[in-house]
Chains A and B, each alone.
Chain A
Amino acid sequence: MNTFATGSGWWLPLAVLGSSLVPALVIMLLSEQRQRTRTALNLSAALIKLSLVAYMTWSVARGNSYELRFGMLPGVDFVLRADAMAMLFAGLSAVLWLFTTIYAIGYLEGSPNRSRFFGFFSLCVASTMGIALAGNLVTFLVFYELLTLSTYPLVVHRGTPKALKAGRTYLRYTIGGGAVLLTGVALLSMIAGDVSFADTGALVNLIAQDSALLRVAFWLLIAGLGVKAALVPLHGWLPVAMVAPAPVSALLHAVAVVKAGAFGIVRVVYNVYGVETAQLLGLLFPLAVLASTTIVWGSMRALFQTEIKKRLAYSTVSQVSYIALGIALFGPWGTIGGLAHLLHQGLMKITLFFCAGNYAETLGIHDIDELDGAGRRMPATSVAFTIGAFGMIGVPPLAGFVSKWYLGLGALEAGMPWVLGVLVLSSLLNAAYFLPIVHRLWFRPQAGPWPDERSFGKHETSRWLLMPAVATAVFTVGAGVLANLPYSPLRWAMLVSVRVYTQ
């Protein structure tokens, strides 16, 4: 295996990575005052990345694939490969990153340390792209840990003792999880050599002699990934990290960190072990149970939160486990449901976080009971919030409904009817903690002056903050209503599912 980069069109994955690595370094060096250049650099990087990813998605759908491979370690290659599964997550990240960048530029207007912020911000998107495009387990691990390093400075960006304490908890979880994941990857690599995502099912012939080790390795991997995917015992860092600025919490909960964990679990179950091997080893059922408990536990805790962002955080804990649940349901429908939810949840949750950020930024609202009558004061933001909330509950024809529908089908097909009960129960709980907020927004009169109102002339809030929220709300509706269009999230999930099961 020569060490020079090989594979067809190897420069494309590199270009996608470079489109955020290079700006990251350049922005780090920019002095604080160069505000315009920094914004231009950010936006152009996001747009270039979006176009590259769109082109790759289009050509991957036509069957060809792109691969960059060179020797990183004795016996281990550094591989970036653009296959259907990779473009699923890369597409989501590229789209939502554009909106988060716009939102962050508006949100951080005039605050200190922005060069540092946007430097690590682009580094974070580079690691997310790396996670999406990783072609084998070790490359995935490299970018998975790079994500931890690039998100820590964002969590502690404000520099207040409270933020630093949150950062410390965040680190304790993620670095610990990383060490567990490393052990799992090392163990698996010792058993099966360089574990590539391309030849799934390679482990099936290893079941005979060391099935016990395979099980141990699986649960080590799931534990390591479970930290970022916020599975129940390992979700503690998520609510605490809410102290970070709004674009960071949107980024952590909708796009990067949480999804990286979920995507990792998808990769492990489908590409590392292969669904049949996982079923043979009896790993899927416990995973389904774990995901279900997280779903219910997350929703229960969300009920009792008084702060908007804390409630959204616990809602994320439960929603991400839908993806894990979908994967654990053996059969194509469950997969489609899980993968579709990976995209839909991203769209819906980021809308909710943008709106929460708008409320905090323009009216100084942090608690739910301060939201009375906000609908009248900020109509567009509140409409977006309502769409997001209904989507999360699973009200048709929004995106949330589509993925829950397929999850239901998958549950029946996999012969686990109790999962249907879990889905229904969690939808009810979602309604229980979202509807009161929507009610306060529209049907409650404004009770006294807003805590810290900032006027933006005739607009309800700054354009930079409003446009992303509305756009993602429109996308949520689109993903639901136009689910059958060729490049909709659902169709792409189906395409991936077909490739997974026919391989």
Chain B
Amino acid sequence: MFALDKKDARLLLMVAVLTMLAPFILNPFPAGSEMAQFNAGYPDLMQRFVIFGIFAIGFNILFGLTGYLSFGHAAFLGVGSYSAVWMFKLLSMNVLPAIALSVVVAGLFSVVIGFISLRRSGIYFSILTLAFAQMSFALAYSVLTPITGGETGLQLALDDPRILDVAASATGNIPVPGLFGLEMRASTNLELGPWVFTFNVGYYFSALIMLAAFYLAIRIFRSPFGMMLRAIKSNQQRLNYTGLNARPYTLAAFVISGMYAGLAGGLMAAMDPLAGAERMFWTASGEVVLMTILGGAGTLIGPVLGAGFIKYMENIISKINESILHQWFYWLPDGLEDFVVAMIYPFIGKGWHLTLGLLFMAVVIFLPGGLVEGGQRIGRMFGRKKSEEKDKPSGKTTPAE
């Protein structure tokens, strides 16, 4: 299927099914029940899952394949968002031109930054990319305020030109981003007994783009180009003495992953038309590094899992507060209830960072290959024979899926 071998086709199909059914899968608990707190099937978070999935997939093309650890990828995301919002302000609220521009602009930025940074390798490369991203953040937050909106972020206004579109909607509000009239924020609810499932246009739009991005990533991983990138990670010296110049390959990988980041940034703006400078801060770059390593660098699905994991923590765990805990444990005797709540309390709500830190450590200590390795171990426990597939004569050994 799609010129993929069987294993990859199965993976793609699995991801496709999961993303399409996400509104069901992520909302396993009836609305209003005690466990509804853990439901993640609302449009904003689902959009974030796939958008950060795209970001991490792209980052993995650079880091997972070539081993070049960029610490400034958030800059491309930010640039992408700014481009998209400017497109909404100047041209029209249609998301296609906005996303196209964000990919192009992020691509141009990554050509320049990549060309300079790739003159060095290892940690020197990481620091160069970090320096560029931090400069972008600092300038966007301060002196570039007229272009970026600075502290408050770049946002739409009623008096924007929007030459191909209306400045204000019929109700006197700022129009919302859409695809030929189909608003990104439009949702339909399906109520099945106590369960509520939400189907959101923006989510499905992003999910389709993510699937395309994922498919492209598989193709890149399995292509000769992908093999060259892995060869760069493995032994750059041998590559040079094989008559190959590593620089164009790494630059191409850098630009591709920069464009993925730009795409993610553009989509973020399309879902929510505001671009803040914090998107480019070093912690945002660090986040995508963590997503990729946490999920499993160099694997196809790992970064997506890592992105989902971190975004879930950030959006769900941080919203649990003390009164919700009391609600969960009300059935315990009063003293015990207070004790249990007091024990859990430091790890939820404002303590979600603590939980995140502990989980990072746990994953890296016990699952060196990231979440993917965890999945494989579970898979092995259930007796699936992976070794069989490994030996099939596909012409390649592939990194674990």
Q: Do A and B share a complex?
A: no
Q: Which residues does B use to contact A, with CB under 8 Å?
A: none
List residues of chain A with CB under 8 Å of any chain B CB: none
